[in-house]
Amino acid sequence: MTQRINYIQQSPELFKKLLEFSNQLKDSKIEESIRDLVSIRASQINGCGFCVDMHVKEARIHGERELRLHHLAIWRDSPLFASRERAALAWTEALTRLEESGVSDDIYERVRTRFSEKELSDLTYEVMAINAWNRANIACRTVPGSADKAFGLDKANLA
């Protein structure tokens, strides 16, 4: 794959704002492990190779188990995810694949029982952010692994 344009170089001020937004989410009420799962799952759904690569490496650096990463695509059938993680993944899928009728009451109720209103709001922003990154990297065909050194992802030792 060949990158089309480098959106970071072309619009550095906008990149910086989106990066600030994403970095601010690290202070949210959502656990780092759930944020990692959300980022990977949304990126899988959207087909963003750059973001799947990046967030798998981040998750490994954060201590995520390899088998859980392999099971993420089949999380509904896997026994490896807790109910709170399952709720977050259901919310991620619902917001990433928005139905014409919106997010169902069933999914909302399932998520609402596992997250406070503040946490649900933070989780929603987390999903919004990764979907924005996915769209930029897909549109520009950002090459997976091309920013490993810049983001410290070479520490994952997954090359």
Please give the tally of structural domains in the chain: 1
46 lies in some domain = yes
- Evaluated on CA atoms 152, 155, 158, 159, the torsion sign reads positive
* Domain contains 99: yes
Mean pLDDT, contiguous 10-residue spans, the chain (159 residues): 91 96 95 98 98 97 97 98 98 96 96 97 98 97 90 83
Output the domain CATH number for residue 38: 1.20.1290.10
Residue 93 within a domain:
yes
Contact 69, 40 (CB under 8 A): yes
pLDDT of residue 159: 65
Closest-CA residue to 81 (of 38, 124, 118): 38
Q: What is the model's pLDDT at position 147?
A: 87
Q: What is the pLDDT of residues 28-56, one digit of tens each?
A: 999 999 999 999 999 999 999 999 999 99
Q: Which domain holds residue 107?
A: 31-145
The verdict on residue 112 lying in a domain is yes
DSSP 5: -
d(CA 80, CA 11): 40
Q: Using a cut of 0.85, tell me whether the model's pTM lies above it.
A: yes
pLDDT of residue 1: 80
Q: Is residue 150 a part of any domain in this protein?
A: no
Residue 132 belongs to some domain of the structure: yes
Per-residue burial over 108-127, b if 16 or more Cβ lie within 10 Å, else e, is eebbeebbeeebbebbbebb
108 within a domain of the structure (yes/no): yes
- Quick check: is 4 in a domain? no
